[in-house]
Chains A and B, each alone.
Chain A
Amino acid sequence: MKGPLDGVRVVDASMGAVGPWAGALLGQLGADVIKLESPQGDFIRNVMPTQGGLSSTYISMNVSKRGLVLDLKKPDERKEAQALIAGADVFLENFRPGVADRIGLGWEELSSSNPRLIYASASGFGWSGPLVTVGATDPHIQAFTGSTSVNGAPGAPRQRVRWYGHFDVNTSMCIVQGVLTALIERERTGKGRLVRITMVEAAMALQRVRVAEHLAGGHPRPMGSATTYLAPDRLFRALDGFVAVSVTSQHQWQGFCAAIERPELAEDPRFSTNAERVANRDALDALLDPVFASRSIGHWVRTMERNAVPVAKPSSFDDFRHHSHYRENGMLVDVAAPTRGQMTLSGTPWKFARNPGEVRRAPLPGEHSRDIRANGWGGVRPVGAGQ
């Protein structure tokens, strides 16, 4: 299942989640990705929970790679790493500032021996400034970048999204964008690039709609399950739990009014356009809350679906793990864990018709060291300028 990056060679020396998931995405796109670790290893190996003793985060962030362990403190093994990178197209790192240079894996050194190398460097707060020495992980980036000021119930203290590294993986997506852009440029120039990504800027990009509202003089704030620019668009309490319903177009508003058997609302001037509904949000909610409370989730899902209105019963992993819709769309796949059993993971986010790519199981740390040290890039076809 070769992907569009078939033949591209990546050395991923990053740790944690930000860099490793970028490597995993490049691997899912078809690149040959080698995860390079020191004997002490990526610290994420020890983050709970584990499956068969190895961190589930390590396993999930390193799918579609081969594993190599080298001790960069030993001159011979450092040379091996440099030789491998001399034949690579992409190098990924997220060392603290200064570390890469110190261990012989800096941009200057690597690009002088491989001018075609694309060197992607990721950082939390950047490479200069008052916070340059402060470590960054997702919980801190969530707080720093303003996201907590729009999460949670109205009027509640600022809160983080609980214990989920979403600005990590979002930064990874930005790394992949940068690497792909540099690969396209290299087709023309033959030269590599130093690509830089910070978690702060990536987090701002993910929040760009809220930031746009702020810059225009709006006041983004926690709105529970609702949002600024649409109404109705929130969780409603039905007889037996919550149901999510959204009206994103005028067509859907007609359907919504039919579904709740209140066709006269569609003509009510307070609610006739989305802008009116947003402006009269409280009046609308006061009207709708008792309506939804009178029937079951199942009723609302069926009725809204029949009227082509976006609707869903909130679902958890246990609800959707085996759901045929998620499975038939390849959104979830079962992949062997390198330790024991299988894991249910996300499928590739892109479904290419011609070059599909795939999710392959993560390696054990250093699982392919012997093979890579003996054969280098081995039978992998290089992406050469003269190809």
Chain B
Amino acid sequence: MSEFLRILGGVRILEIAEGIAGPVCGMQLADLGACVVKVEPPGGDRARQWGPACADGRSAIFEHLNRGKSSIIVDWRSAEDRDVLAGLLRDADVVVVHQDPETRALAGMAWRELCDANPRLCVCEISDIGLQGPLAGRAGSELVIQVLAGFHRYAGRPEAPCRVGYEIASVGGGMAAVEAVLAMLYRRERDGRGDYCEISLLGQLLSQKQILLAAQSDPDKWEGFHLNGPHWPADIGWETSDGQVTFDFRHGERDGWVKFCEAVGLGHLPDDPEYADWRSTIYIGDRKASHGPVYHAAFRAMTSQEASDLINGFGGISVKFHDYAEILAHPQMRHLNPLVSVEGAPEGATRQVATPFAFDGATVADPRPRAAPCPGDIAGASWPPGPPKGRNSP
């Protein structure tokens, strides 16, 4: 195994957060070698109660989002606990904080002002829907933030809107927080000073929506994809005998499309003027809806594998609409590193999604991270002996 660089070795991070966004941030920073102490309320992070449970009853979601950390319980009502936290804060490099409005009020901490008292400190405060403006400080949720950013319009039907089925607001917010913390740490390396950063889950979700915001802004005349999405049927690709596949040939790859048509008994299409703009009949949007059904019988006569092999063999792009079992078993995944093995994790959480970037020739993320902590596995006002600064060989 290559050496583990532990780039954030020696960096002390307090994570004061429950749920998903803050913990995703802390987990990714722990993956990079930081010493992360998770501050939990007396009842523990609420995600500890979220199913499904691992073999020993622990939450698989919590286990995943909190690997590699230590935990301390802090009751904001207790002066003693506040002193313990103040002790940890004195020697912290980074604070990642995401509190619901009640906890925020109870804690009464001016997170931004901590940076005045400790100029090297980097504070990343996550809010749900922003700390300014008429809705300042309101509680949100993954769903509420998705609909405030208009994401209910892109799955399901107008009469039965759906959310995006994974946590684009919360996990995305954690990923934006990782960017913020790393950027502040980099700046501190250069000028010795920390910073305060606020990230709202709503604001960063709109940042993820940049392509659609621009498309809807003031476009030249156009009624097609990006704009008509909310009004069109579900995008289910092409149904085969055993599932669904994608089907595409890029612009400039007409020859491949012609060969495909010939191979499936649609050799007349390339001469049909209605199919002169052939790609719009297989790509997304209006003409796929009106002109795409001509291909349906051919797809239904093939398995997904046969269809994809045929299309990709002619230089096109086709993959199956997988579920998670299918993608993790796909031979392509042996060439990637989507999962990491977690030491000491309960059965059901021993394999988890890895940090999503890699260095060539060296291991940038912990190859054997520790399991998530028990509630309050450390106590007292001193930092646990963190990993050393610099590189380690696991």
Contacts and interface: CB of A to CB of B under 8 A. Distances in A.
Q: Do A and B come from one complex?
A: yes
Q: Looking at chain B's contact residues, is the secondary structure mostly helix, strand, loop, or mixed?
A: mixed
Contacts of B50: 229-230, 274
A230 B47 CA distance: 10
Given A180-B186, A225-B152, A346 B176 contact: no
B187 A4 contact: yes
Interface string A108-144: 0000000000000000011111111111110110011
A272 interface: no
B317 A352 contact: no
Contacts of B60: 212-213, 215-216, 218
A69 to B, nearest CB: 21
Contact of B332 (A29, A60, A125, A278): A125
Interface in A138-166: 139-140, 143-153, 156-166
Contacts of B362: 193
Given A205-B353, A346-B203, A225 B143 contact: yes
A129 B338 CA distance: 14
Given A153-B157, A216-B60, A350-B176, 15 more contacts: A7-B190, A129-B335, A134-B317, A143-B244, A177-B182, A184-B182, A195-B357, A197-B356, A209-B170, A229-B47, A233-B143, A246-B143, A251-B100, A329-B202, A352-B184
Contact of A49 (B204, B209, B222): B222
Interface in B156-205: 156-157, 160-168, 170-172, 175-176, 178-180, 182-187, 189-190, 193, 195-200, 202-204
A258 interface: no
A210 interface: yes
B141 A248 contact: yes
Contacts of A169: 207-208, 210-211
17 contacts: A17-B211, A51-B219, A51-B220, A130-B331, A139-B246, A140-B317, A144-B320, A152-B156, A156-B234, A157-B244, A158-B243, A181-B7, A251-B102, A273-B49, A278-B51, A352-B196, A352-B197
A274 to B, nearest CB: 6
B88 interface: no
B28 A177 contact: yes
Interface stretch (A75-83, A259-267, A284-292, A307-315): A307-315
B292 interface: no
B94 interface: no
B131 A126 contact: no
Contacts of A244: 143-144, 146-147, 152
B100 A353 contact: no
Contact of B217 (A159, A343, A352): A343
B354 interface: yes
B22 to A, nearest CB: 13
A329 B156 contact: no
Nearest to A233: B143
Interface in A269-328: 273-275, 278, 305, 308-317, 319-320, 324-328
B342 to A, nearest CB: 11
Contact of B324 (A149, A274, A316, A325): A149
A383 interface: yes
B203 A53 contact: no
Contact of B19 (A137, A214, A248): A248
A346 B213 contact: yes
**Residue among A53, A143, A345 with max Cβ neighbours from chain B (10 Å):** A143
B171 to A, nearest CB: 6
Contacts of A143: 237, 244-246, 319-322
Interface in A202-233: 202, 204-218, 220, 222-230, 233
Interface string A27-62: 001000000000000010000111111001101110
B261 interface: no
**Residue among B5, B115, B204, B327 with max Cβ neighbours from chain A (10 Å):** B327
B179 A25 contact: yes
Contacts of B285: 163
**Residue among A7, A305, A313, A352 with max Cβ neighbours from chain B (10 Å):** A352
A150 to B, nearest CB: 3
A135 B359 contact: no
A325 B166 contact: no
Contact of A140 (B133, B163, B179, B248): B248
Contact of A211 (B144, B209, B229, B353): B353
B218 A342 contact: yes
B375 interface: no
Contacts of A312: 140, 144, 147-148
Contacts of A127: 335
* Top 6 closest pairs, chain A to chain B, by CB: A216-B60, A60-B214, A246-B141, A150-B165, A129-B335, A178-B357
Contacts of A194: 359-361
B224 interface: yes
B278 to A, nearest CB: 16
A174 B214 contact: no
A204 B19 CA distance: 19
